[in-house]
Structure 1
Amino acid sequence: MKWPALLRKLRRPSGRTPLAGHLDRFERRVVAGWAADTSDFSRPVQVVLVVDGMPAAMTGASALRPDLTSAGIGEGRHAYEFAIPNLSLRGARQVETFALRMETAKELGLADEAGALRRGLDAARFAQMATRGGGRILRLGTRAVPARRDVARRDHERSAPGPVAFLDICDLLAVLEERALVTGIQRVVSGLILTSLSQSSRLPAFEFCAPAEDGEIVVLPGEGLRRLVGKALSGTAAQAELSADVAAIRDEGRRAIFRPGDRYVITGAYWIIPDYAPTLLGIRARGVRICAYIHDLIPFTAGRFVDAASLAEVRERGMEVFSLCDFFLTNSSFVERQLGCFLSTETGRRPPARVVPLPHELPRGPHMAQVDAVPAHPRPYVLCVSTLEGRKNHLLLFDVWAALLRKYGAEAVPDLVLVGHWGWGIAEFRDLCRVTGFLAGRIVVKHDLGDGELLALYRGCLFTAFPSFVEGWGMPVGESLAAGKLCVASKSSSIPEVGGDFCDYIDPCDPLSAFEVFERAIFDPSHRRDRERAIAAAFRPRSWDETTFSFHEAVEALAEDSAASVEKVPLLKADIAYSLENLPGDVLRPWSHKVARLALAEGWHGLESWGAWSSRPEAKLRFFTDEAPGEELVVTLRLVPPPGLDEARLRLESGGMQEEARLRGAAPQEIRLGARVEKGGEVELTLLSDPRDLCADGLRDLHVGLAAFSFSRVRDI
């Protein structure tokens, strides 16, 4: 839907409902769009995913989407997304999404009193509900389910006899499927790709990879990645072209073959994949060392700067990944100190970590060729490069520029050029810009610039500004210095590591003292010249080559150091009831209890508020204990029958012991069976359901559910 049409719809909603929205995207494993109550944008709206007429899932339309913000749709927090489980939609013909309020869903019987979608509703029943709902339910869109393409994937041929570092770039691919430019963490991953490929003959063995739709890890073609990243950084490719390139690269990928001693490195955003933990557990079980390159801990240490709709989920995914890592890389000493303290406090462990600082320069390559052809900005200007969001502190810049205009007048004050997309938590700044005409035109916002255009802006500015409250690194500070320009920067978090003695620092919480620093930088040309001469004489920009070599060297060194002390994950204790509840507001239960979710080793859907459903007739529960091999245990499982069945049959097996069980009714039931501790303290249980005892909810096959478990030593009973 084009934005003008969308805005017309918002101005003139139908006479029957104030609800508006759209199903924007259905591809791979995602159904996404937006929904809002136009009579009151603050009122929450629910979205139901319907497959062939059957309601399959429900979620809130509350995630931030910058294009909604730009279109004036509330504050932009009206996006929804359904992650389609692997191998789902078998035989389905179409998907639809519907918007409604939670009170409507409960009144119609679509949701229970807790707000959860009722399971087992058929197409006829939902059709009746939709009719009864009248104007209170809005169909957002319909999409046909494409025929599933089975890619004949061959095994990857290893070129090195020794260990290989598999570098996971799934977050970059996910971003390029949705937008045409990369920023922040994905820019770092892009630079790492380009430089690693250009220096591959001088580096330890590595491959770039990503999880495929079927859960396998796929090694990606280097030349295809080089072309893809070059297009993304140039800013000249359309999003549809990049999305097609990503699909082609995925199809060309080959199945990764892991060996004990290999390394698997998460290079970017660890929270991007909803079911990452089972993938990492499977890799770890093959003797592969797991590493994550941590770019910041802002979701854990400064949560007020993260979109509240996704904060809890990001934290939970982060804790799962952190628990499975054998070692870490960080982009700054600041993040390394934070990570060590955080892990020690929250998990009781402190795996080895090494700092690999980011470069100061922009990624190099053919995409930079057009830099000299970029037209100059028509007036003198100060440049600020960052996403426009609350954490970046643009309000301070607004206050400073307003004060400068009052004191010196419009002709004497340079423009403030902001380069970045609109993000979240920026409503007050947007409102101020709107009512003041962007300070009578002195604030200029640019976006969708390629690296060549960005470098031209760096070179042409008076100086740059970076007043952020908190960072993991602060790439624009280094990019400014690498271009020979002074940066007036915040003195918080990691930023002084980037700028050293070459920045003029400000307190991000004190706009009055910041005014004096900006005033001098603007109206004292000799000060700027002195600072630029100091930068030219003594600043040594770190190159992408340096960062890339340090990255690969650190992976190899830490993998070797950690090989002798492999941690058991999850390591659980006897006589503790481990609940698999996954409640967003559950902040008091320690991670030592929540870590039990990592025992869901094979054949499980993602966690829900009460626990998890098994996704196939055979599901495995695997954990570790400090008990000696051969120790006999009694394991208690709190099981939930498939919805809608009067009875479900299953067999439980562990260490040669087995137990037959029947689950009757809908209530959870406790089943006990004997188990034995194996070598290394491992305990494995297999749940075998009758394949006929399942509930299909349109998206998933639901077999038996697991809500909690515990174990005790037989000799203590």
Structure 2
Amino acid sequence: QTFPTMLSPGNTSPCHHSLHLVAKTAESQHAGIAQQLSDRALNSLERRTKMDRQALAGMLQGTRRSLPTQKLSMDRPNDVVTLDALLERVDDLELGSEQVEALREARKRLNGKLETSGQLAEWDGDEIVFDASDLIEYFAHNRLPTGIQRVQIATITDSIRNRPAGSVKVCCFSDQDSSWSQVSTEGFLTLCSLALESGDRTDPLWLDAYTELKIDISLASPLKFKIGAFLVNLGTSWWLRDYFLFVREAKRLYGVRYIPFVHDLIPIVTPQYCVKELTQEFIEWVSGVFLHADFFLVNSRATKGDLLKVAKTLGYEVNDDDVAVIPLDAQFRDANQELPSVRKLRDWQLAPNDFALMVSTIEVRKNHAAAFDAWLALIEKYGVRRVPKLVCVGKPGWLNDAIYAQIQQSPLLRSCVVMLSGLSDEELGLLYNSCRFTLYPSHYEGWGLPATESLCYGKVPLLADNSSLPEAGGEFGVYFESGSLADLIEKAEALIFDDAYRAGLEDKIKAGFRPRKWQDIANQIGHEIEAFVARTPTPTNEAGEVVERFQPIQFGAHYPIGRSREQRIWKGSGTAEIFRSGAGWWWLEDWGCWTKTGGGDLALRFVDQKGPVRGFVQLHAPGGEPTKYEISAPTVGVFVEGTLDPSEFRWVAIDIPDIAPTEGFHIRFKSVNPIDLNALTDGADPRTIAVGVGGFYFCHADDLIARANFIEAIAIGGLKQLAFNREPIAR
């Protein structure tokens, strides 16, 4: 019974240290594992470039033979994996006979949960699948996790260890492979454990673990979800191409229920602080998330309010009970971490208690400009010697030229503002521990992690009173009126010069602030997911089959399938992307979307069909040679074929003579001579593309006005005025 405690994260028992010795031995024996992968294989993994799968598999399998960790079935519980590993290393650990016997007894008891084949009995209840794409992508370039990565690690590892064996899986999405791949829970837990230990990305143990996980993912078959599984994404997905196409496919095939964690809606609520491309991508994501999500997790009441407001603007109804608030009021860093000596401050020309600290990405939304203006005003009033320095820590973000120009153009700012980036966890901890107070004048936040982080170090945060910042700082923060420079200066002045006032606030923090553990946040997320699971029946019919949901279309409306480039939203805005069905599509482009070799489907339904229907579909041919195409919809008696010239766009008419099934139907687009862009672009574009689809339009065959409107719109380039998602004319 003592072994589960011994194996828990963060344990520092003698056996734990012995395990580290074993790890160090493995490190010295296998330090070159990551380098054994050829550059070509690693580039193929990281950049998702096209490469013969069998050749890549052989290359990686050859490398894998030298990996130090034993590969065990992903279906085996983590406790079994750990006990097996310990039993194999009893000599290295120098365990006594009683300890070895205790391990064997524990392994025997756990073995009772296994079938005679050594495999777990199939889990019979609801399955939770965590999409860790965002986290694994983060590990490609970073090691030490920040706030949201810690949320993901704690929640997923807790669920793996505490839910019934076989009920939790981890997956990773690839837009190149057009599927999710199951991630080894053993490899995932190992990588997460190492991530929490250090920020050293050159550590051979880290490189080995990351490489091993990438091998697993690259060789894994597409994940087959259990019927009615819950797909939970605790990170972000707006950056993944065609993500919702495959959420939709998982719903179609397996009745999957999708739960995203929405961290903020800043690109929509405050687009002026974001680059245009981000706002456009985020609007596309938001248009899809309300169509696909069954429930939502959010990080603050403010974000929940934004979510409900944006949903209403778009014309969607989201039940208040379907949005769970998960505050990120956690202990962000190890409270017992060993900090560098205060002498380290000299490297930055700083002294303890003689600087204010602002931790944030260097971008316009964080409002460095107001901080600089306040400091200039304070220096003008009190002199440069009496005003503490302002230390700004963060990596460069977007729209920051004015911030750096403001410093460059002011000798006073250059003398009192210190800009730092790329600091270690320990160095940042030293700055928090040594500052007089912290400053966070951001224009808008989803939560405001630095505010809570400041409280964890017992430091008073001076915050703007907007968005979620009052939730992050709670009763312990000092707030200034957002947009009021005079109020910011007044509040900063009190914290700088009134030592008794500041000390009183610090005493209040010490006496009353109790940050939650990451485990507490993980437990809350797990509880909310379990509550969603408990009240949501598996979406199947009486025969236990998943029922596909078809989206309705309006007659007399144009549905452009290409990417949306809108920078604002309104009721009904969105894209016709939702009508793509299956894995036969490449990602959206401005003009429309290419199909894959086997063809692509549109899935739609007519809501008030009264008779025969005339349809028009815009096709696009790849370049190079003529394209033979087929359009077929056997359910409604449609088959059309023809030939397009290279690169030609053409509207093709189709007729549906009978009443279509009320539940909906599929239309397939296929061409017999796909083009391999990989060969044409020397690997720059890995796709093999077939006939493309730019949009569609349906009307009743006898509706001559609708047909005339369509023909006229094509002739004068006015299709936008017929679009289903056009913005209403203001009156």
SS in 2 for 1:668: strand
Shift of 1:625: 4.9
Q: Which amino acid aligns with 1:663?
A: T
Shift of 1:642: 3.3
Greater strand content: 1
Q: Is 2:430 aligned against 1:456?
A: yes
Counterpart residue number, 1:287: 255
Q: Which amino acid aligns with 1:603?
A: G
Q: Is the 8 A contact 1:487 1:504 kept in 2?
A: yes
Map 1:338-377; keep pairs closer than 5 Å.
338-350=306-318, 353-363=322-332, 369-371=337-339, 377=345
**Unaligned residue ranges in structure 2 (runs of 5+):** 1-40, 62-70, 76-119, 540-546, 705-731
Map 1:458-497; keep pairs closer than 5 Å.
458-497=432-471
Q: Is 2:690 aligned against 1:703?
A: yes
Q: Is 2:557 aligned against 1:576?
A: yes
Q: Which amino acid aligns with 2:282?
A: V
The 1:659–1:154 alpha-carbon spacing in structure 2 relative to 1, beyond 3 Å, is farther
Q: Is 2:668 aligned against 1:686?
A: yes
Q: Is the 8 A contact 1:155 1:257 kept in 2?
A: no
Indicate which of 40, 43, 52 corresponds to 1:27.
43
Q: Which amino acid aligns with 1:236?
A: G
Q: Which amino acid aligns with 1:704?
A: V
Q: Hey, what's the Cα distance between the residues in 1 that align with 2:688 and 2:658? A: 30
Q: Hey, what's the Cα distance between the residues in 2 that align with 1:201 and 1:233? A: 17
The 1:626–1:189 alpha-carbon spacing in structure 2 relative to 1, beyond 3 Å, is farther
Q: Hey, what's the Cα distance between the residues in 2 that align with 1:627 and 1:559? A: 35
1:343-395: per-residue Cα shift (whole Å, max 9, x none)? Answer: 12214332553233333234466x97434667553412222111111111111
SS in 2 for 1:606: strand
Q: Which amino acid aligns with 2:618?
A: R
1:687-713: per-residue Cα shift (whole Å, max 9, x none)? Answer: 332246888753332221211123456
Q: Is the 8 A contact 2:255 2:538 kept in 1?
A: no
1:448-496: per-residue Cα shift (whole Å, max 9, x none)? Answer: 2343433333232222111111001111111111222211111001111
Q: Is the 8 A contact 1:179 1:239 kept in 2?
A: no
Deviates more, 1:390-399 or 1:242-251: 242-251
Indicate which of 220, 224, 229 corresponds to 1:262.
229
Counterpart residue number, 1:669: 651
Shift of 1:173: 2.1
Q: Hey, what's the Cα distance between the residues in 2 that align with 1:155 and 1:332? A: 39
Counterpart residue number, 2:727: none
Shift of 1:323: 2.1
Q: Is the 8 A contact 2:562 2:577 kept in 1?
A: no
Q: Hey, what's the Cα distance between the residues in 1 that align with 2:251 and 2:385? A: 62
Q: Is 2:183 aligned against 1:220?
A: yes
Q: Is 2:261 aligned against 1:297?
A: no
The 1:647–1:428 alpha-carbon spacing in structure 2 relative to 1, beyond 3 Å, is closer
Shift of 1:515: 0.9
Q: Which amino acid aligns with 2:213?
A: I
SS in 2 for 1:383: strand
Shift of 1:420: 1.0
Q: Which amino acid aligns with 1:207?
A: K
The 1:651–1:175 alpha-carbon spacing in structure 2 relative to 1, beyond 3 Å, is same
Q: Is 2:248 aligned against 1:248?
A: no
Q: Is the 8 A contact 1:486 1:532 kept in 2?
A: yes
Map 1:140-151; keep pairs closer than 5 Å.
148-149=56-57
Map 1:171-210; keep pairs closer than 5 Å.
171-179=134-142, 182-183=145-146, 187-194=147-154, 196-198=156-158, 200-203=160-163, 205-210=167-172
Shift of 1:562: 4.6
Q: Is the 8 A contact 2:364 2:398 kept in 1?
A: yes
Counterpart residue number, 1:607: 588
The 1:439–1:692 alpha-carbon spacing in structure 2 relative to 1, beyond 3 Å, is closer
1:51-70: per-residue Cα shift (whole Å, max 9, x none)? Answer: xxxxxxxxxxxxxxxxxxxx
The 1:312–1:485 alpha-carbon spacing in structure 2 relative to 1, beyond 3 Å, is same
Q: Is the 8 A contact 2:268 2:568 kept in 1?
A: no
Q: Which amino acid aligns with 1:615?
A: K
Q: Hey, what's the Cα distance between the residues in 2 that align with 1:189 and 1:509? A: 31
The 1:373–1:233 alpha-carbon spacing in structure 2 relative to 1, beyond 3 Å, is farther
Q: Which amino acid aligns with 1:273?
A: L
Structure 2 length-normalised TM = 0.71
Q: Hey, what's the Cα distance between the residues in 2 that align with 1:199 and 1:376? A: 40
Q: Hey, what's the Cα distance between the residues in 1 that align with 2:371 and 2:328? A: 26
Q: Which amino acid aligns with 2:299?
A: N
Q: Hey, what's the Cα distance between the residues in 2 that align with 1:246 and 1:571? A: 44
The 1:393–1:374 alpha-carbon spacing in structure 2 relative to 1, beyond 3 Å, is same
Q: Is the 8 A contact 2:629 2:691 kept in 1?
A: no
Q: Hey, what's the Cα distance between the residues in 1 that align with 2:162 and 2:192? A: 21
Give me the CA root mean square deviation.
3.7
The 1:234–1:189 alpha-carbon spacing in structure 2 relative to 1, beyond 3 Å, is same
Shift of 1:626: 4.4
Q: Hey, what's the Cα distance between the residues in 1 that align with 2:73 and 2:559? A: 39
Indicate which of 523, 530, 542 corresponds to 2:497.
523
Q: Which amino acid aligns with 1:605?
A: W
**Unaligned residue ranges in structure 1 (runs of 5+):** 1-24, 32-83, 92-145
1:558-605: per-residue Cα shift (whole Å, max 9, x none)? Answer: 344454789946343344321223352586886456244442433112
Q: Hey, what's the Cα distance between the residues in 1 that align with 2:551 and 2:203? A: 42
Q: Is the 8 A contact 2:297 2:325 kept in 1?
A: yes
Q: Is the 8 A contact 1:234 1:368 kept in 2?
A: no
Shift of 1:427: 1.7
The 1:368–1:637 alpha-carbon spacing in structure 2 relative to 1, beyond 3 Å, is farther
Map 1:77-96; keep pairs closer than 5 Å.
88=50
SS in 2 for 1:439: helix
Map 1:441-452; keep pairs closer than 5 Å.
441-452=415-426
Greater helix content: 2
Deviates more, 1:606-615 or 1:348-357: 348-357
Q: Hey, what's the Cα distance between the residues in 2 that align with 1:220 and 1:617? A: 28
The 1:483–1:341 alpha-carbon spacing in structure 2 relative to 1, beyond 3 Å, is same
Q: Hey, what's the Cα distance between the residues in 2 that align with 1:715 and 1:556? A: 52
Shift of 1:527: 0.6
Counterpart residue number, 1:168: 131
Q: Hey, what's the Cα distance between the residues in 1 that align with 2:703 and 2:149? A: 52
The 1:313–1:291 alpha-carbon spacing in structure 2 relative to 1, beyond 3 Å, is same
1:251-284: per-residue Cα shift (whole Å, max 9, x none)? Answer: 2245533122211112112212122122212211
Q: Hey, what's the Cα distance between the residues in 1 that align with 2:393 and 2:604? A: 49
Counterpart residue number, 1:275: 242
Q: Hey, what's the Cα distance between the residues in 2 that align with 1:610 and 1:586? A: 18
SS in 1 for 2:392: strand
Q: Which amino acid aligns with 2:127?
A: V
Q: Hey, what's the Cα distance between the residues in 2 that align with 1:261 and 1:359? A: 29
SS in 2 for 1:214: coil
Q: Hey, what's the Cα distance between the residues in 1 that align with 2:476 and 2:139? A: 35
SS in 2 for 1:550: helix
SS in 1 for 2:463: strand
Structure 1 length-normalised TM = 0.72
Q: Hey, what's the Cα distance between the residues in 2 that align with 1:647 and 1:308? A: 36
The 1:540–1:559 alpha-carbon spacing in structure 2 relative to 1, beyond 3 Å, is same
Shift of 1:298: 0.6
Q: Is the 8 A contact 2:584 2:597 kept in 1?
A: yes
The 1:569–1:530 alpha-carbon spacing in structure 2 relative to 1, beyond 3 Å, is farther
SS in 2 for 1:493: coil
Q: Which amino acid aligns with 1:684?
A: H
Q: Which amino acid aligns with 2:597?
A: R
Q: Which amino acid aligns with 1:430?
A: Y
Q: Is 2:363 aligned against 1:401?
A: no
